[in-house]
Structure 1
């Protein structure tokens, strides 16, 4: 909780004001044809996907979901990403573990595309991304995305989700769609809420080890994969952990007498870690004259930490708007977020060559402590002059992410090593200026016409803060250099300084029209030009339309081009770390594309990704209170930016290149650059072209039960499939190296099979007088975790993991008394469902020599896949108390 206490005191100073959201009567997802809210739900005005001032969800030519503030409160989870995962069928939020900084900044996806291919807006303004690059084995590997969990749900008035390509309207990143978080802007009212919950679960298939089995003279009895034979308890391991306390509040205050508002919101969350590890049945110590070390019999085999990281979060938000004159309004917002995180790496065995027994005679579990500081401010004026609406604003956002490694060592310094290190950090900033104008124009043959246009300037920076020298240094004792689990950022890699600030800027201009030809036909068009200082220009366009051919039945469709600029993080991130690759821990270096070593391996400057999107849909509202939308989509993306496979070097015991290609050539290149202890290298490339096809369907129905209250039902379905149309051949000197695969089976599988093919969201909300009930059920379709080869080269045995479809159900009951007080109890994952465990034991037989090939023994300690779309924590029970005023 380093620094968190002082920040919590700051939150407490706001607590008389920052209490909670004004009551919102609509609940659930309001789609472009939804009646789950009050009778006027179809007339809900949207601000995403159009610059018109009166466009509603019902007549939008593209699918836009509106998630109300109240629907975000009926869950035990308070993280915004988890709440969206429960309610948006095409939204995916896996919760990986042992992935370094990604353990505390977990990215989400929309429509199966990468996290950085969805544009995130806050009050319609582009939100800055995290400085962290998700570089390890998670969904979204190689991306730097917006940290949505830094936006507290209690500060929101609603969330608008545009499920269509929108780069022509908003610029880079809007390939999969746009998520626009609208901050609460009520001039009065508030709420304060406290939520406490914990996981109470029986971990599926994980049983405690009661003893280690030995033969005569203490010789170890082993399984075919080399692990120890053990006796286990008779029941699944019961766990109570992950205790989470969230205190949040918001309040609206008037500014002046002309309708101004000031909203203050604060949230503090304290979350203990969860641990779903299995017993580590690997041999921990070296044998003593062929017999087990006696410590083997008493070693605590729940030695890893696999689950949610320990985090402490503080979020402070201020949103305001105040009229200056009758025609001019001053507005803005300030946001601040802090997160103190602690997660773990893989346990270093006592017998591991990277351990120093004089320091850790029983091995050690290295811990990754992270400090995240985030700030954003927006100030603008808007109004109307000569019939033109205008909005002029400036913004600045900054994200800082720092690593502090504890309970570790630098093996190369031997017994003199430090046990804790400042490993450095990352910095990202975004400064923007925007001018948007629009006007309603009368044209005789059109019912309505709105013209809009605008200009934007954006400047971004990225910087690596080096760690202390001991965190990356190579000491005199030999062995693996750098702090174990996360070596510090070295300011010089491959002869290049990588700690200098990198920056770029871009200018853009757009024009848009939105026209109602008559009461039944709407057309929309947009064009946008952008020019970047680092790669040049991009021109994109979009057309969309809606035709209501029968009252209550409409068709809609859209066609658009788009792009995503390579992030500064992808271009200039540089680090050395230890990664688990199919059960083998590799010291891996990630190189910037302009690094001499990366260039020697074939790296070239990154180009923007380019997309082509099509969508077609049906809207049905002909039956009272029944609303159905079905939308089909296809997104083609060329030059997708990906990080290469880990290009592994092959060396002999002396560190010299050995064996066959491609490992021999890679070792030569790395050794020549001074990376004699680095096992593998990787860099970013425009590596492939892909096609994503899918279906989104949402249906809602509201039952009016008269004196018995009201029941709202929602059903959502998403089918999503990504295929790879082209893979880049190995570039540069590697082009002629036999057997080299730049983007291979494992990484292709992560992209096309690492997310659920289907997802179903079902919801029931019942309200009667002071009683409220909510029931949700989500079905996550199968996931195929495709792994790399685990036998000898050419064995054709792979580390695959297939997750079966999984149902997860949530339930909540709440009661209101004295009109303003509410208490609620409930459970997320009420039936304690778990994903399919990862396989262990024999994986197959090698095609090269007929020998048995086994799954990685690390699967015993990481028994569930990081690809699991609902995580792997089990049942979460909670209680909530709140007061409205």
Structure 2
């Protein structure tokens, strides 16, 4: 997409320092990695907690109260193919997040709700980065958004058609849009924090997010909520009060009986959200005022989902689900002041603010049949997913048409679809006093990717195109050209074998292997070995070693466009080309290869009465990681200028392999439940300490002399420090009869938004956000709730005036908690 807020390419890379040190890029001196100290501290705290809990677990400890369900009783289906396995009995670390916990917040976005209660997940709220404003990616353990596999009811979900080509977290990724499924449709979410490519296939390098849909034969409910930001905005140049981002949402669900045992659960949600604006004063024109709309986009969307199951025959069940979402989202590019050479005074005497409209139509369909064949639990399923993004540029112009230019442009479309057919079978055999579960399966997947061109005025150079100072195409977002149009497909066949054996003495050993064949790059194989030892009823050790991979997406392989990229103070027409194209090959491009990883994890589980604690350390090494190259400008050398000239662009970029990174850290999750007479208190504390180090970057393979930098300082630091290295979330849920109160505090470590040199780096600073919600249920049916997200109106650090000449990016858009301030809301729900 065009990059309304793109940064100029940087120069230079560095060698990786020792594991417990990093180079301070501002001073060049080595410094002790703060996360290394945090890991030591976390280990010490965990040891203390384990000692205390061991004392609690001594004989004579009071039993749980009658009817008090232990938090460890949640049965999981992710990360294991053994039926009846609970969350705390699993070999790998798994978070189970209830639909109620997701919905008892001010946000209606599943990704944001998930990030607010899960420290290992982040959901940056980038702005002025075009399509990524509307289709935001989430990250797990700081890795690329497309290195986490997303399942729906255990079946692979489809990615968005968008590839993030701008200067935001997740640049270069094409990930699943978690917000295409409404919270009202979810029963719970399971997050597997471990490599799982051998179990589930491509993309599961960081882990797996499994969205479990609600299943109900009866009952129903409806919810209406309203909220808005009420915040004191303090930018570098001015302060003001903001009352914006008004959000209305209405949702409902209904369970319907199908026959004697079948079910059909219908869910729907409507959302209307006004935009927010957090820009600074623009001093380029008089009078100085806020000309940008730096914040959340305006959104109007509706989503419908159905989930069904019906017994058929003897012990067989026919099941399926389907969903459709229509999202209309409008964000803003950089404002054009009256004196801008690409402004036409006859159309916009006071300048203009280009608006980028993205209409997303997302479809999901799945059906399957499961039952038993000769003792084998068998599941056959088919699924289809499709995402279409239609782009428009509004309130804009094509300067090369002068006063005759349209002001509203059809920019074309991106389309991605995926068909999956799978067969899974599992059977448990008694073995040596225990049992071994044998699972095997086959999967066929077909993917398609298409780019459709926009109207000619959205990309053409018009009658004034001979003036090289004027930028062709729609300002803010140049449309896709006929030369950008593609229609590509590929297929994949895979097979896996998964064994999990339980022995006397509390030992569990698991192993999985998977082979895959892609029509476009060949074969690959992955494996996983995991083990668990229950040393006592209250304590267990667990660990795993696995290899993983991620195939280059069709979006990364074939995306092509011409975009307006801001390289202050200029706007450059920049082409994005397939790695195997003539222009990319001349600049250093090579055919893309899969990413490969090795994942090590080791941890323990401790439980004593109503207390539970899990600590899991991990070490992930990724090689041949994919990324988008720097914008290689014509000004680099006459040779580059000659290569770019026939394409009518001033810069070019393409996808490359070759990054090697090391990610290590620890996840800590503690929980305690305590009945208090007629009330109850549920306490939880979770933390993620994460450290990423880029140890190798790609160098040019072109015949250019000198060779341009393909991957520069700001891209390296985005991977290393673009997400929090420390995130801690603590919450308390207190109930007394019909009254309920939830308090949550989230601490975010400092995040770096890097520039091309250290002097242009921007930090978010450390921050703690507090959320508070109170609920009251009337007649056991109607629930009223009021609350505040970010109660104390916390913002990231301001962008200094020296680094914000346009006044647009007043706060770092890398901020993991956004930059909108306090959000107040009210909600009423009824159930029947």
Corresponding residue number in structure 2 for 1:699: 670
1:730 is the counterpart of 2:700: yes
How far did 1:420 drift? 1.0
Corresponding residue number in structure 1 for 2:502: 516
Corresponding residue number in structure 1 for 2:482: 491
Query: Which of the numbers 631, 638, 646 marks the counterpart of 1:646?
Result: 631
| Whole-angstrom CA distance in 1 between matches of 2:719 and 2:538 | 39
CA contact (8 A) 2:574 2:650 kept: yes
Moved more, 70-79 or 635-644: 70-79
Corresponding residue number in structure 2 for 1:629: 614
1:413 is the counterpart of 2:404: no
Corresponding residue number in structure 1 for 2:659: 688
Corresponding residue number in structure 2 for 1:164: 194
How far did 1:40 drift? 3.8
1:515 aligns to what SS in structure 2? strand
Corresponding residue number in structure 2 for 1:865: 812
Corresponding residue number in structure 2 for 1:360: 348
Corresponding residue number in structure 2 for 1:805: 766
1:430 aligns to what SS in structure 2? strand
CA contact (8 A) 2:123 2:138 kept: yes
| Whole-angstrom CA distance in 2 between matches of 1:93 and 1:688 | 23
How far did 1:519 drift? 5.3
How far did 1:365 drift? 0.6
How far did 1:665 drift? 2.7
Q: How does 1:815-830 map to 2 (within 5 A)?
A: 815-830=776-791
Q: How many residues end up aligned between the 2 structures? A: 766
CA contact (8 A) 2:96 2:189 kept: yes
Corresponding residue number in structure 2 for 1:876: 823
Corresponding residue number in structure 2 for 1:668: 642
How far did 1:122 drift? 0.3
How far did 1:260 drift? 0.8
Moved more, 340-349 or 591-600: 591-600
Query: Which of the numbers 293, 307, 315 marks the counterpart of 2:303?
Result: 315
CA RMSD of aligned residues (A): 1.6
| Whole-angstrom CA distance in 2 between matches of 1:38 and 1:349 | 63
1:135 is the counterpart of 2:165: yes
How far did 1:541 drift? 0.3
Which segments of 5 or more consecutive residues in structure 1 lack a partner in the other structure?
A: 1-32, 209-235, 285-295, 493-497, 651-661, 790-796, 842-854
Deviations 1:104-150 (A, max 9, x none): 11100000100000000000000000001111111000111001011
Corresponding residue number in structure 1 for 2:36: none
CA contact (8 A) 2:368 2:382 kept: yes
Corresponding residue number in structure 1 for 2:14: none
TM-score, structure 2 length as denominator?
0.90
Deviations 1:535-570 (A, max 9, x none): 001100001111111330111000000000000000
CA contact (8 A) 2:763 2:812 kept: no
Query: Which of the numbers 535, 546, 555 marks the counterpart of 2:521?
Result: 535
CA contact (8 A) 1:168 1:527 kept: yes
Q: How does 1:161-560 map to 2 (within 5 A)?
A: 161-205=191-235, 208=238, 236-257=239-260, 259-282=261-284, 284=285, 296-297=286-287, 301-443=289-431, 445-478=432-465, 479-492=470-483, 498-518=484-504, 520-560=506-546
Moved more, 831-840 or 428-437: 831-840
CA contact (8 A) 1:582 1:787 kept: no
How far did 1:237 drift? 0.5
| Whole-angstrom CA distance in 1 between matches of 2:637 and 2:337 | 27
| Whole-angstrom CA distance in 2 between matches of 1:470 and 1:784 | 39
1:544 aligns to what SS in structure 2? strand
1:835 is the counterpart of 2:796: yes
How far did 1:449 drift? 1.2
Corresponding residue number in structure 1 for 2:4: none
How far did 1:435 drift? 0.2
- Cα distance, 1:177–1:664 mapped onto 2, change above 3 Å: same
Moved more, 517-526 or 363-372: 517-526
Corresponding residue number in structure 1 for 2:13: none
| Whole-angstrom CA distance in 2 between matches of 1:90 and 1:581 | 33
1:116 is the counterpart of 2:146: yes
| Whole-angstrom CA distance in 2 between matches of 1:698 and 1:532 | 38
| Whole-angstrom CA distance in 2 between matches of 1:333 and 1:583 | 50
| Whole-angstrom CA distance in 2 between matches of 1:521 and 1:706 | 39
Corresponding residue number in structure 2 for 1:152: 182
1:81 aligns to what SS in structure 2? helix
Q: How does 1:714-729 map to 2 (within 5 A)?
A: 714-729=684-699
2:752 aligns to what SS in structure 1? strand
| Whole-angstrom CA distance in 1 between matches of 2:602 and 2:452 | 47
| Whole-angstrom CA distance in 1 between matches of 2:663 and 2:675 | 40
Deviations 1:416-463 (A, max 9, x none): 1111110001000000100000001122x1412110000000000000
How far did 1:43 drift? 2.8
Query: Which of the numbers 543, 548, 561 marks the counterpart of 1:575?
Result: 561
How far did 1:581 drift? 3.7
How far did 1:674 drift? 3.1
TM-score, structure 1 length as denominator?
0.85
How far did 1:584 drift? 4.3
| Whole-angstrom CA distance in 1 between matches of 2:381 and 2:545 | 30
| Whole-angstrom CA distance in 1 between matches of 2:554 and 2:568 | 29
Which segments of 5 or more consecutive residues in structure 2 lack a partner in the other structure?
A: 1-52, 58-63
1:597 is the counterpart of 2:583: yes
How far did 1:44 drift? 2.0
| Whole-angstrom CA distance in 2 between matches of 1:511 and 1:273 | 49
| Whole-angstrom CA distance in 2 between matches of 1:729 and 1:366 | 36
Corresponding residue number in structure 1 for 2:747: 779
How far did 1:323 drift? 0.4
- Cα distance, 1:798–1:583 mapped onto 2, change above 3 Å: farther
CA contact (8 A) 1:206 1:237 kept: no
Deviations 1:4-55 (A, max 9, x none): xxxxxxxxxxxxxxxxxxxxxxxxxxxxx99999424323211001111121
Deviations 1:522-542 (A, max 9, x none): 111100000000000110000
Deviations 1:169-214 (A, max 9, x none): 0000000000000001121111100110000000133665xxxxxx
2:638 aligns to what SS in structure 1? helix
